[in-house]
A = this chain, B = another copy of it.
Amino acid sequence: MAGVDEFALIRMLNQSGMKGVPGPAGSGVSVGIGDDAAVLRSAGGTELVVSCDTMVESVHFKPETMTYRDIGYKAMASSLSDLAAMGAKPRWALVALASSRGLSAARLGELYDGLYACANRYGATIVGGDTTSSPGGLTVTVTVIGEAAVGRALLRSSAKPGDAVFVTGPLGASAAGLRYLLAQGEAAPLLEALPDAIRPLARAHRMPEPRIVAGLLLGEARTGLCGALNDISDGLASEAWEIAEASDAHIRLFGHCIPQLDELRAYAAETGLDPLDLALYGGEDYELVGTVRADGVDELSGIFAQAGLRFWVVGEVAEASPYGSPAGVTFIREPGGEPVLLGKKGYNHFA
**Is B6 touching A350 in the complex (CB atoms < 8 A)?**
yes
B-binding residues in A (CB < 8 A):
3-7, 9, 18-20, 30-31, 34-42, 47-60, 82-83, 85-86, 88, 92, 94, 96-98, 101, 127-137, 139, 141, 143-146, 148, 150-151, 153, 155-157, 229-231, 242, 245-246, 348-351
- A86 to chain B: which residues have CB within 8 Å? 35-37, 39
A271 to B35 alpha-carbon distance, docked (Å): 36
A107 to B54 alpha-carbon distance, docked (Å): 20
**Is A133 touching B35 in the complex (CB atoms < 8 A)?**
no
- A5-B350, A348-B5, A350-B4 given as contacts; is B153 within 8 A of A39 (CB)? yes
**Is B30 touching A39 in the complex (CB atoms < 8 A)?**
no
A3 to B274 alpha-carbon distance, docked (Å): 30
A335 to B20 alpha-carbon distance, docked (Å): 35
A54 to B41 alpha-carbon distance, docked (Å): 25
A151 to B39 alpha-carbon distance, docked (Å): 9
A36 to B328 alpha-carbon distance, docked (Å): 19
What are 18 A-B interface contacts by the 8 Å CB criterion?
Answer: A5-B351, A6-B351, A18-B246, A30-B47, A31-B155, A34-B246, A36-B51, A36-B231, A37-B49, A37-B153, A38-B51, A40-B47, A50-B127, A53-B130, A56-B134, A130-B141, A133-B349, A133-B350
A-B interface, 5 closest residue pairs, ranked by CB to CB distance from nearest: A136-B136, A37-B51, A36-B85, A143-B143, A40-B48
> What's the nearest-Cβ distance from chain B to residue A146, in Å?
8
Q: Which of B18, B50, B56 contacts A245 (CB 8 A)?
A: B18
Q: Which of A6, A51, A229 has the most CB of B within 10 A?
A: A51
Q: Which of B52, B127, B242 contacts A18 (CB 8 A)?
A: B242
| Contacts beyond the supplied A39-B153, A59-B133, A133-B349: 11 A-B pairs with Cβ under 8 Å | A5-B348, A36-B86, A36-B231, A39-B48, A39-B86, A50-B94, A52-B128, A53-B96, A94-B143, A96-B141, A96-B143
